[in-house]
Amino acid sequence: MPNFFRYGNKLNSLLLLPLFVWITCPADSRMTGLVDSHDSKVVYYSEYGAVGDGVTDDFDAIIKAHDAANKVGVKVRADAGATYYIGGADKTAQIQTDTDWGDARFIIDDTNVENREAQIFNVSSKLPSIQITTVKTLEKNQKNLDLTLPYNSFVIVTDNTTKRYIRQGINPDNGSDQTDVFVVDKNGKVDMKTPIIWDFNNITSMTAYPIDEKKLTVRGGYFTTVANQAESRYTYYARGIAITRSNVVIDGLCHVITGELDHGAPYRGFIMILNCSGGVIQNCKPSGHKTYVTIGDANVPVSMGSYDVEVSRSAHVTFENCKQINDIHDVSLWGIFASNYSKNITFDRVEFSRFDAHMGVTNATIRNSVLGHHGISITGGGVFLVENTKVCGTNFILLRGDYGSTFNGEFIIRNCEYVPRNGAPSDAIVVNGYYSGQHDFGYTCYMPEKITIDGLVINDGNPVDGYPGPRIFCPFNEYTSEEYVEKYPYMITREIEIRNLTVKSGKPYILSDNQYLFRNVVITEK
């Protein structure tokens, strides 16, 4: 191990960070691409002045190395055994070629930054985006656009005269511009796995981002974030890796966090996937952040969401064989994953504290995975499949009440296990949420039209006092008789199909304590 003590006070304060990364993220046998002698067809950070001693700020050298590689289209490789310190400069390194960080360490110091939203790396395309001005309107489920494009493209469209996701609760807001994302080919044909979900009578912005045909791969890297020490307010930090290019693979990256105090500003995500299609995050190890509290818009204390992985305005994003470094059951850590305005998100062999779809996911799959204390929270539509997965949250699935507990589509639960609160004394509710019927969210709110349970073990062996048995639905609202009037009616589930349901307590399942609300649900047991 290098003698780090000889570098002075700054290093002494960061001394254990590289060691912590070595302990938490052991070298992976897949990281065999690094060589001690330099390859003439590869750009190394040291060639542009990076020292790699963990003390010298190497950010400028890293930026220059990527700029040089981007110009001639060659790979970038970190120097074997290097530890790169990155300070708080308002700069971003653009990655446009394959990059191998191997066993290199990166210390990202967020204690004094010039711009909290300046990403350290941006995996970007060399191809320009295109503003579409010829399409004036769109219809829900429209199959073709009357245009041609130079590339298959990922399209983002907005209407700033229409508001959706008008949030209620302890963090209310006035909603967001109607937004949709979808994939089209060069001839304007819409990929119906990314269907258009809104009518657009007034398009105010429409952008086509080219989908690169060639895959770009970023491998390895052991990152330590020295957490910010800012006031606990909604001043989000985004000081990590943004992926704004389609068809990117991030393989074998590890991220740990140190220096968290009893206060701090939240993070949007160390890995942020934005405005693209076809991303794969595999063999990666992110970390959950400490939860901080602030005063929300309703003037009451609220816990701030701080994420290590975020997917926004993206499609066809897959997480494979990814495992959270710290404890997925530690309730002091915020849920690790969030998404907004995205389609076709897949978890496969993932161990995270949370899957959370805020402002809508269309079509999602979780299989062969384990989800911790925050479990599954979702709004959106399409088909949501949970298969061969263990969920340890308070509920199996939470329909987010702050966005209307809405999912316009179908739930399929197949060969899963539900362990309420990871075995702590608990109630057991398969689908939870809340909908008063008195708030306008900017859309009609739906429960999934059909729910299929085909193999579910409810491990409710440690119930709370008075536990009556597991419920498929919570009460959802006060609509317990015909006297209750919903100003904005809720579309209730029509059909539930149940096969191979096992309840460890031996108690029979209950549809809901609110029998009136669910009086018309048809249950088929096989």
Give the angle 176-177-178 at the CA atoms, nearest 5°.
Answer: 110
Other residues' Cβ atoms within 10 Å of the Cβ of residue 136: 11
Q: What is d(CA 423, CA 235) in angstroms, rounded to the nearest whole number?
A: 36
Closest residue by Cα to residue 251 from 343, 309, 153, 320:
320
Residue carrying structure tokens 């096969």: 499
Burial class (CB in 10 A: 0-12, 13-18, 19+), 271: buried
Strand ranges inside 292-444, DSSP E: 292-295, 301-304, 309-323, 337-340, 342-356, 361-367, 370-378, 380-387, 390-391, 395-399, 407-418, 429-432
Percent of the chain with pLDDT over 90: 87
Band (pLDDT 50/70/90 cuts) for residue 482 is confident
Q: How many CA atoms lie within 13 A of 302 on its CB side?
A: 16
Band (pLDDT 50/70/90 cuts) for residue 26 is very low
Q: Where are the domains of the chain?
A: 1-125+212-373, 130-210, 379-526
Q: What is d(CA 282, CA 350) in angstroms, rounded to the nearest whole number?
A: 9
Q: What is d(CA 185, CA 105) in angstroms, rounded to the nearest whole number?
A: 40
Distances (CA, A) of 506 to 497, 512, 523: 20, 17, 20
User: Is the pLDDT at 17 greater than 70, yes or no?
Assistant: no
User: Is the pLDDT at 20 greater than 50, yes or no?
Assistant: no
For the entire predicted model, the pTM comes to 0.92
Q: How many CA atoms lie within 13 A of 194 on its CB side?
A: 27
Of how many residues is the chain composed?
526
Q: What is d(CA 194, CA 182) in angstroms, rounded to the nearest whole number?
A: 5
DSSP 117-147: T--SEEE--SSPPEE--S---B-TT--B-S-
Give the angle 523-375-235 at the CA atoms, nearest 5°.
Answer: 135
Measured between alpha carbons, how far apart are the two ends of the chain, in Å? 62
User: Is the pLDDT at 24 greater than 70, yes or no?
Assistant: no
482 CB contacts (<8 Å, ≥6 apart)? Answer: none
Average pLDDT estimate for 345-361: 97
pLDDT at 35: 37
| Partners of residue 431 on adjacent β-strands | 397, 473
Compute CA 460 distance to the chain's CA centroid, rounded to the nearest angstrom: 29
Closest residue by Cα to residue 503 from 456, 465, 463, 464:
456
pLDDT at 296: 78
Band (pLDDT 50/70/90 cuts) for residue 269 is very high
Give 305-323 pLDDT, tens digit per residue: 899 999 999 999 999 999 9
42 vs 31, residue with greater confidence? 42
Average pLDDT estimate for 441-454: 98
User: Is the pLDDT at 29 greater than 50, yes or no?
Assistant: no
User: Is the pLDDT at 124 greater than 50, yes or no?
Assistant: yes
pLDDT at 259: 96
Give 147-177 pLDDT, tens digit per residue: 999 999 999 999 999 999 999 998 899 999 9
Closest residue by Cα to residue 194 from 343, 366, 358:
343
Radius of gyration of the chain (CA): 24
pLDDT at 14: 45
User: Is the pLDDT at 91 greater than 70, yes or no?
Assistant: yes
Q: What is d(CA 214, CA 248) in angstroms, rounded to the nearest whole number?
A: 9
Q: What is d(CA 297, CA 343) in angstroms, rounded to the nearest whole number?
A: 29
Band (pLDDT 50/70/90 cuts) for residue 297 is confident
Give 199-231 pLDDT, tens digit per residue: 999 999 999 999 999 999 999 999 999 999 999
Give 64-76 pLDDT, tens digit per residue: 999 999 999 999 9
Q: Which residues of 184-221 are buried (b: 16+ CB within 10 A; e: fewer)?
A: beeebebbeebbbbbbbeebeebebbbbbeeebbbbbb
3-state secondary structure of 217: strand
**Does residue 454 contact residue 388 with C-beta atoms inside 8 Å?**
no
Compute CA 516 distance to the chain's CA centroid, rounded to the nearest angstrom: 36
Residue carrying structure tokens 């609110």: 514
Q: What is d(CA 107, CA 223) in angstroms, rounded to the nearest whole number?
A: 6
380 vs 38, residue with greater confidence? 380
Tokens of 100: 């191998």
Closest residue by Cα to residue 442 from 361, 360, 376:
360
Band (pLDDT 50/70/90 cuts) for residue 295 is confident
Q: Which residues of 457-483 are buried (b: 16+ CB within 10 A; e: fewer)?
A: bbbbebbeeeeebbbbbbbbbebeeee
Other residues' Cβ atoms within 10 Å of the Cβ of residue 45: 25
Q: What is d(CA 435, CA 378) in angstroms, rounded to the nearest whole number?
A: 14
Average pLDDT estimate for 331-341: 95
Task: Give the phi and the psi of residue 506 in degrees, each rounded to 5.
Answer: 85, -5
Eight-state DSSP code of residue 23: H
| Partners of residue 351 on adjacent β-strands | 323, 370
Compute CA 384 distance to the chain's CA centroid, rounded to the nearest angstrom: 16
Q: What is d(CA 76, CA 218) in angstroms, rounded to the nearest whole number?
A: 9
Alpha helices in 179-251 (DSSP H): none
261 CB contacts (<8 Å, ≥6 apart)? Answer: 227, 229
Give 34-53 pLDDT, tens digit per residue: 334 466 699 999 999 999 99
Q: What is d(CA 272, CA 255) in angstroms, rounded to the nearest whole number?
A: 13
> Which amino acid type is present at position 275?
N
